Amino acid sequence: MAQPNTGLGFLGRYPRPVSPVRPVVLSGGSGTRLWPLSTPDVPKQFRPLIGDSSLFSLTLARLHGLPDLAPAIVVTGDRHVDLVRAEVDSASIEVGTILVEPVGRNTAPAVLAAAMTAEPDDILVILPSDHLIRDVDGFHEAMTVALAAARRGGVVTLGIQPTRPETGFGYIEVGERDGSAFRVARFKEKPELEDALDMIGDGRHLWNSGMFVGRAEQILAEAAELCPRILEGVRAATPGSAPGAIRLGDGFGAIEAISFDYAIMEKTEHARVVPMDVGWSDVGSYRSLLDVSELDESGNHVSGNVTHAGMTNSYLKADTRPVVVAGLDGVVVVETADGVLVVPLHRAQEVKDLQARIDGE
């Protein structure tokens, strides 16, 4: 059948504009499991924990080279705005907007505020600011697949190939293939050790990285269906889109604190996953920090004014004064101007609770 003459036939000779890829960098965490290297005033993403660059800076740098990049959105808290601005000033990509939370409400409200600030057709690449990825080329390859899946209507998460039976991470069970990505069969909470052993052995499970990709308007549509009260609260607290810093309204603090995983990813029918094996770490504890740090022949990471003898498999750091340790295996000894920590590596997950006692929480 003949096509109607719209007078716009020339448009058919040109490809449709590609949706901009807009990074959303989440920087609201305080990294208390790495106290005293990480503190509420200067959390781990702003510290040079591995090499000379901060994790925040490395997060921005690895975005360089992705196609069709639009200026990024950073979501952070009141006390960290100046730290973000200092990082952004030397960044290799442009940051257009800093969304300032009056109080942290976990990742779902942060992502929805960013989606409202973005253009509806933007493909959002949602990234924590405090993770480490060694293989940037591999990250770009996986992200290319995720972007394609998002353009087909998926809300995509990046899943990490597990390397050990980790009980501190959530897991994703991989379903049937959908293009170059996979459907998500289900999300699983942090498992017991026996379950973690089973999951890494069956080849069908990935670690949940907390990285997501999706079109802004679709993420908002999913929220309207799956968590409308949260969306309503975020909408009321988000004043609009503008370059520079945008302070979210005080009503943001009344929104339910909930992760993007719980609020949307575990409920949507459009969840997709892209496997990724890129030398990823959440740098979420001293155990994981030791795993990605430079080690001596005895398995120790040693920095600062540390004198040691007979130490093995330990993380040793002194910032402001001499520290002497001897004859221990698998310990953390960290001295900074903010405090001193001594703990066995196998109890490193307790640092968060111990730090909370200092603040009287």
Q: 301-309 and 171-178 as β-strands: parallel, antiparallel, unpaired?
A: unpaired
Point out the least confidently predicted range of 7-11, 36-40, 198-202, 206-210.
7-11
Q: Is the pLDDT of residue 11 over 60?
A: no
Q: Is the pLDDT of residue 198 over 70?
A: yes
How far apart are alpha carbons 55 and 117 in whole angstroms?
Answer: 24
Point out the least confidently predicted range of 27-31, 64-68, 79-83, 123-127.
27-31
- Reported residue count of the chain is 361
Contact at 8 Å (CB) between 311 and 328? yes
The DSSP string of 234-268 is: HHHH-----SEEEEPPGGGGGS----HIIIIITT-
Q: Is the pLDDT of residue 78 over 70?
A: yes
| pLDDT of amino acid 6 | 34
How far apart are alpha carbons 128 and 117 in whole angstroms?
Answer: 18
Q: Is the pLDDT of residue 208 over 60?
A: yes
Assigned token pair, 205: 């499970």
In 55-212, where does DSSP find H-type helix?
A: 55-61, 81-89, 107-117, 136-151, 193-201
pLDDT band for position 30 (cuts 50, 70, 90): confident
Q: Is the pLDDT of residue 2 over 50?
A: no
Q: For residues 242, 155, 188 and 197, what is the CA-based torsion angle, rounded to 10 degrees?
A: -110
pTM: 0.91
Q: Please list, in sequence order, all residues whose beta carbon lies within 8 angstroms of the beta carbon of residue 88, skipping any fewer than 6 positions away.
A: 60, 74, 95, 98
CA 178 to chain centroid, in Å, comes to: 25
Which position has the token pair 């050790």? 193
